[in-house]
Structure 1
Amino acid sequence: MKRELPAHIAAALGGNRADSAGQAWAGRDLSGPDNPLHAFDDDDGAADAGLTIALESLRVPTDQPGPGERAVFGALTTARVFIPIVAEVSAHARTDAGLQADKEADMSLVTLSAPDGRKALPVFSSTPALQRWHPEARPVAVYAARAALAAASESAELLVLDPGAALTFVLRRPAVWALAQQLAWTPSYEDAGLAELIGATAQTLPDVVSVGVRPAAGVVTRTADGSVAGGGGPGPELRLDLRLRAGLTPDAVRHTVSSLRAKLLALPDVVERVDSLDIKLLR
């Protein structure tokens, strides 16, 4: 079955197959101002300045990733990014010599598989970054919010910004959904209302003494040179520090943790606002 591109991506492709002289863009340098392979006038393919500043701020060591992650999200609400499109053979033909030849090719979005198996959509801050990653991919310029819509249409829960670059930033599912809907986003580990809901839910279990929330270890990531970046990791996103009543048997501990996880996953607000959850037992 032929996979259709999202309508807004197909529209962006439709009018940009060749330049005004009829020369195809394929095989040409797409990074300069003379080759605007997209519908953004006067766009030279460089990274958005605000997005670059927000990403660079993550390089400052911190134990509070919220401001940095919110800054990148805020920059993405107005930034132009590039989605890679590649040719995918959809039909073959036989030559007179009996050899198989490509007859038709469709343009399709590139998707990735995250370490946890979820689908991710790669996007790029600039055409040079995209071409370093996949020289044959065609860059289509869109606002990041439209890229988030494309991710949703592909059932991709993550946006991966600049894979293969010195700093790669993963926008996790709640942020992707917020960006697609052009809504504000608060990281789950900074969400006071969410913390209150989790605390109230935990207190319905008789063996729970206390529960606290904080950023999980998967919020931070590492740059290409191995240094820690304060945000943009693929998850886990939210850590619950859970303290249980003393003297419980191992089976009772497992039952309480399993019950808490099940109760939380039954709450729509938790499912929508938390990308991934890590529960740690405190002694």
Structure 2
Amino acid sequence: MVEELPPRHLPGHIAAALAGAGGQADSAGRPWAGRSLAGEDAEIHNFQDDDGAADAGYLASIAGLLEGACDEAAVVASLAGARIFVPIVAQLAEDAEGVDGLHADKQADMALVTLKAPDGRTALPVFTSAASLASWHPEARPVAVYAARAALSAVAEGAELLVIDPGSDVTFVVRRPAVWALAKQQPWLPSYADPDLAVAMCSAAAGTPAVRRLEILPGSGVGSSTGRGIPVSGGGPGPELRVVLYLDDGLDATAVQGLVSGLHQTWARNVLFGECVDSIEVTLKRAAD
């Protein structure tokens, strides 16, 4: 069963960073509203000599992921210092009546492009190269930023996911805990590989006698596939954490439902769980198995 997690509150340092960045602004703190792409606005901030190619470190980490030589944590780590492109598009802010009653653009603002993930959450698409962005949306304008600033922009837009290179052969989804880690410029450890989280969840389950033991494993949504159908051991949208509960025999459906619900509420009150876990699925097994 897949559990729906409660809304997450932003850590204070991320909220402070967003306030300092000015809210509805680009990674340089400049508001999108009223922007044009002429003159100085056409410059790519801090990257005027950029050739638009994908970051070599990111490409190497993706190659390692495909070969099984590294995991998705290594891919996220490669993004920490990588330049990526955020797409922005013109958005009509105000129109006016033109000749013969036809509507004409009076004012257009620039806006970030966002997507809806299959589970309904908002996702921010970003691109490792100017070419991949142009292929995905020819009318979008690329804004070059470091991934950490893009993560802050994602949070500002209410997006919980970063989607790297949508429409490309390899699309990698950065889930909420990793987005927060990028925004904080801190290392990220997947929930299923976090020993401290395992201890916290097992300690919570110890108060439930019917649970003999508990395991945490990668969830069914960790993996993805390339556009050619080749399996990839990371970059999926979730659920990323699978919890296996080994239960006593003799529990009826009502008792099991109450047990799982109670554990989930206990876990959700744990700060570490709230920051580390994006999505969870629970598998039930008999303790004798």
Change over 3 Å in CA distance of 1:85–1:160 after alignment to 2: same
- The yes-or-no answer on 1:166 pairing with 2:169 is yes
Answer whether contact 1:9 1:140 (CA < 8 A) is retained.
Answer: no
Q: Which residue of 1 aligns with 2:283?
A: 280
Q: Which residue of 1 aligns with 2:203?
A: 200
Match of 2:38 among 3, 10, 18: 18
Match of 2:119 among 116, 139, 143: 116
Match of 1:8 among 9, 16, 27: 27
Q: Which residue of 2 aligns with 1:251?
A: 254
State the shift of 1:160 in Å.
0.5
TM score, norm. by length of structure 1: 0.88
Q: CA RMSD in A?
A: 2.2
Match of 1:83 among 79, 82, 86: 86
| Distance of 1:156 and 1:17 partners within structure 2 | 25
TM score, norm. by length of structure 2: 0.86
Match of 1:104 among 96, 103, 107: 107
In the comparison of the two structures, how many residue pairs are matched?
264
| Distance of 2:85 and 2:31 partners within structure 1 | 11
Answer whether contact 1:16 1:38 (CA < 8 A) is retained.
Answer: no
State the shift of 1:96 in Å.
3.0
Q: Which residue of 2 aligns with 1:134?
A: 137
| Distance of 2:194 and 2:260 partners within structure 1 | 22
Relative contact order: is structure 1 or structure 2 higher (C-alpha 8 Å, sep ≥ 6)? 2
Q: Which residue of 2 aligns with 1:183?
A: 186
Paired residue type of 1:5: Q
State the shift of 1:15 in Å.
9.6
Answer whether contact 1:90 1:106 (CA < 8 A) is retained.
Answer: yes
State the shift of 1:282 in Å.
1.4
Secondary structure, in 3 states, of the residue corresponding to 2:111?
A: strand
Q: Which residue of 2 aligns with 1:30?
A: none
Answer whether contact 1:157 1:173 (CA < 8 A) is retained.
Answer: yes
Answer whether contact 1:5 1:109 (CA < 8 A) is retained.
Answer: no
Give 4+ residue runs of structure 1 displaced > 4 Å after superposition.
12-16
Paired residue type of 1:53: A
Secondary structure, in 3 states, of the residue corresponding to 1:41?
A: coil
Which deviations, in whole Å up to 9, do the C-alpha atoms of 1:206-235 show, x marking residues without a partner?
211111001001001011011111111100
Q: Which residue of 2 aligns with 1:225?
A: 228
Secondary structure, in 3 states, of the residue corresponding to 1:42?
A: coil
Change over 3 Å in CA distance of 1:7–1:138 after alignment to 2: closer
Answer whether contact 2:27 2:150 (CA < 8 A) is retained.
Answer: no
State the shift of 1:185 in Å.
1.1
Answer whether contact 1:92 1:101 (CA < 8 A) is retained.
Answer: yes
Between 170-179 and 265-274, report the one with greater CA deviation.
265-274
Answer whether contact 2:35 2:109 (CA < 8 A) is retained.
Answer: no
State the shift of 1:38 in Å.
4.4
Secondary structure, in 3 states, of the residue corresponding to 2:99?
A: coil
Q: Which residue of 2 aligns with 1:31?
A: none
